[in-house]
Structure 1
Amino acid sequence: MERIFHTPEGVRDIYNGECSQKRKVQERIHRVFHQYGYEDIETPTFEYFEVFSREVGTIPSRELYKFFDREGNTLVLRPDFTPSVSRACATYFSPDQEPVSLCYTGNTFINNSSYRGRLKETTQMGVERIGDESADADAELLAMTVECLLAAGLTEFQISVGQVDYFKSLLKEAELNAEAEERLRSLISQKNAFGVEEFVEEQKLKEGIAKAFVEIPQMFGSTEVLEKARKLTNNARALEAVARLREIYEILKIYGYEKYVSFDFGMLSKYQYYTGIIFQAYTYGTGEPMIKGGRYNGLMKHFGKPAASIGFAIEVDNLLLALSSQKIISEKEEKRSVIQYGPADRTEAIAKAQKLRAEGHSVALRLKKEAR
């Protein structure tokens, strides 16, 4: 049998300069987390299946890496940090008494079909603000998103902000069945305006709600989109969603980061636990978002401690791809010094290396090979 030493499909080794740059970028982002008062948490690489079940609203079961422990319990490699952090928060904290601010770094695992270079194991860094339902919390996470990208070295990027409650309120008004809802969600996510037109004609929806659905795929841009969304419906919950976005935008202006934000009412996440704003950060050089986030006010209820929550996750590998495409290099790395020595010079060489290391330099000791 042939021995296999290369990596499986969908995973890879990271080494040399790329690994060093990844560490530097992570350190910069981690510093931003701490500057905003977030505390570190580590959750297990694998959890019980129930933490990521369909009821939670995470990715489909077929895309999970599943296995069994000795007692026959189904375990899962985490595909997503938010349910894990929420479970831990429900176990160890009291978000109903005081908001909890947690940050994390680690790898996630999704058993999907690898295409376009998409990996099955990726590194994520993120934050979760649990027990805070305010628009100020929403704006704070958007401000943190901006600062994380600036800290990484990017200067040209855009954060697209959507509102799940706007779409969900119109869905409820339309009274569609589950299959029709899923089809409509897919069409809107693909920005397929013609497909949506055909759909509303097939479903024979009322004129007002039909017009709103047809317009949603094209409702993206700056603040004028908010006014358009407001005029499209009289649905009270939908209007509250628009007002919430307006309030968040006004708070972002105080931070001075409003120029990085645009709005997209057709943004719909595959994660069903989102309930309010959702957002994604993009730049040129990569077609995938570098950061994904949103509000998930119903998730903590699944773990026994209902609490309004919001968070985001940085796809570190996508961020590094963008930095590489834009030829942005983090701090210039100091070259490693090498001291070669023979047995007779050992004491002097070690003393010199220790002195340089104490001064913060990188020094490698190399024993000279004896000539044969």
Structure 2
Amino acid sequence: MNANLINENSIISNLINIYEKFGFKKIKLSKFEDYNLYNDNKDFLQTEHILTFMNLSGNLKSLRPDVTLSIVKKILKDNEKETQKIYYIEDIYKIVSNEYEEIPQVGVEIIGKLNKYSNLEIISMAIESLKSINENYILEISNIDFMSAIFDEVGIKENLKIEILKNIYGKNKHDLEKLLDKNIKSEYKKYILSFIELSGNYKNILEKLKCMIINDNLQKSYDELKSLSSVFEMHNNFDKILLDFSIESQLGYYNGIIFKGYIKGNNDIILSGGRYDKLLNKFNSDKNAIGFAIYMDKLYEKNKSSDYIDILILYKSGDEKILLNEVRKFMNQNKKVRVDIYGDNSISNYKEKYIFDNGNLIKS
């Protein structure tokens, strides 16, 4: 069995165990959705590549490029009254190396009525998820509402907000300063500029935010961030938690806390989540929602070392039974062994190579 598959099954099994202990239930979705669901929310997907086809009834359908949209649609369609706490293991379809690939994604969602505990619960689950994958992890957290409260206080229009955020996400202080000088004549410029540098130890950055609390909305957002400290105290992991206001997010869909997770040896974001009430608003729902997804493909791309074999044997000549016996000797040492015909081999991911010639095993 492929080592990557073994690893995938192990990770997913551990994640399921975490989510079910928190009382979350598994949801099953269709692979197919109406094309308009994705076409109407392309900026949420951040992709132009949607695999589309016409079904037998003449309706335009798509293979799912995103799970959250499908979950929101299903729960709102079923008109669930109770708050839904669900987890999923579903495939998404995305372009990899100019080809569509089926990629597993695991995640959790809370949809319904949220309270302060909801934030603590989802962040705790995100930490447990990262730990189950790799003890050496980093979780970055931000709060979109904190930034928005400053923008609203100044009276910044939507288009300008987007430009400002682009520069904050890109940590482009020079262009942000020029943009603010041109459009904002206000004492709040220094606060907006500071968002670029507000990144680091959670406790330290939280302390720096105190001087920026100038209205009730800022206080509410600050309190939301501060309340998460109880989770980090419980996990005793403040050294792994960063507060960073340059975490990128779609302003039109997300609100409140957002977060991203990383593990050692992998520069990719492997976990991403946040609160997305605004997405539900677009479906004319007043429900709240928060959740996160784990991008399994990002884990396996960095786990290619597991594809390596320990021993490569090139068969040139000799008794096959003797060769098989040599192979089993290596296998008894817990080695992965591959035998190929001499002169007909392109395998390069091995640790040791041997040639079996005239019944003898010769290290090459």
What TM-score, normalized by structure 1, do the two folds share? Answer: 0.73
SS in 2 for 1:281: strand
SS in 2 for 1:218: coil
Cα deviation, residue 325, structure 1: 7.3
CA distance in 2, matches of 1:244, 1:135: 8
SS in 1 for 2:264: coil
Give the counterpart of 1:310 among 290, 297, 300.
290
Once the two structures are superposed, the pairs formed by residues 158-307 of structure 1 within 5 Å of their partners are: 158-203=138-183, 205-221=184-200, 222-270=202-250, 272-307=252-287
State whether residues 135 and 248 of structure 1, in contact with CA within 8 Å, keep that contact through their aligned partners in structure 2. no
SS in 1 for 2:44: coil
Q: For residue 109 of structure 1, what is the amino acid of its counterpart?
A: Y
State whether residues 282 and 288 of structure 1, in contact with CA within 8 Å, keep that contact through their aligned partners in structure 2. yes
Q: For residue 149 of structure 1, what is the amino acid of its counterpart?
A: L
State whether residues 79 and 109 of structure 1, in contact with CA within 8 Å, keep that contact through their aligned partners in structure 2. yes
Tell me how many residue pairs correspond in the alignment.
Answer: 306
Partner of 1:27: 13
Aligned residues with identical type, % of pairs: 22
CA distance in 2, matches of 1:60, 1:72: 27
Work out whether 1:109 is the aligned partner of 2:93: yes
- Post-superposition Cα deviations, 1:323-369, rounded to whole Å, max 9, x if no partner, equal 66799xxxxxxxxxxxxxxxxxxxxxxxxxxxxxxxxxxxxxxxxxx
Cα deviation, residue 305, structure 1: 4.1
Cα deviation, residue 136, structure 1: 1.4
State whether residues 53 and 61 of structure 1, in contact with CA within 8 Å, keep that contact through their aligned partners in structure 2. no
Once the two structures are superposed, the pairs formed by residues 329-348 of structure 1 within 5 Å of their partners are: none
CA distance in 2, matches of 1:326, 1:147: 24
Partner of 2:117: 136
Once the two structures are superposed, the pairs formed by residues 77-96 of structure 1 within 5 Å of their partners are: 77-92=63-78, 94-95=80-81
State whether residues 4 and 303 of structure 2, in contact with CA within 8 Å, keep that contact through their aligned partners in structure 1. no
CA distance in 2, matches of 1:56, 1:85: 16
CA distance in 2, matches of 1:324, 1:132: 42
Q: For residue 177 of structure 2, what is the amino acid of its counterpart?
A: E
Cα deviation, residue 229, structure 1: 2.3
In 2 relative to 1, CA 194–93 (structure 1 residues): closer, same or farther, beyond 3 Å? same
SS in 2 for 1:183: helix
CA distance in 2, matches of 1:59, 1:208: 36
CA distance in 1, matches of 2:209, 2:287: 28
State whether residues 124 and 231 of structure 2, in contact with CA within 8 Å, keep that contact through their aligned partners in structure 1. no
Give me the CA root mean square deviation. Answer: 2.8
Q: Which has more strand, going by share of residues? A: 2
Structure 2 unaligned blocks of 5 or more:
308-364
CA distance in 2, matches of 1:184, 1:112: 31
Q: For residue 284 of structure 1, what is the amino acid of its counterpart?
A: K
In 2 relative to 1, CA 269–259 (structure 1 residues): closer, same or farther, beyond 3 Å? same
Q: For residue 16 of structure 2, what is the amino acid of its counterpart?
A: H
Cα deviation, residue 53, structure 1: 4.3
CA distance in 2, matches of 1:171, 1:120: 40
State whether residues 154 and 186 of structure 2, in contact with CA within 8 Å, keep that contact through their aligned partners in structure 1. no
CA distance in 2, matches of 1:207, 1:33: 47
In 2 relative to 1, CA 26–105 (structure 1 residues): closer, same or farther, beyond 3 Å? same
State whether residues 193 and 215 of structure 1, in contact with CA within 8 Å, keep that contact through their aligned partners in structure 2. no
State whether residues 296 and 308 of structure 1, in contact with CA within 8 Å, keep that contact through their aligned partners in structure 2. yes
CA distance in 2, matches of 1:212, 1:193: 13
Partner of 2:137: 157
CA distance in 2, matches of 1:253, 1:92: 39
Structure 1 unaligned blocks of 5 or more:
1-14, 328-372
SS in 2 for 1:19: helix
Q: For residue 141 of structure 1, what is the amino acid of its counterpart?
A: I
CA distance in 2, matches of 1:160, 1:110: 25
Partner of 1:99: 83
- Post-superposition Cα deviations, 1:75-131, rounded to whole Å, max 9, x if no partner, equal 232222111111111233524xx321110012223458869xxx8653210000112
CA distance in 2, matches of 1:316, 1:210: 40
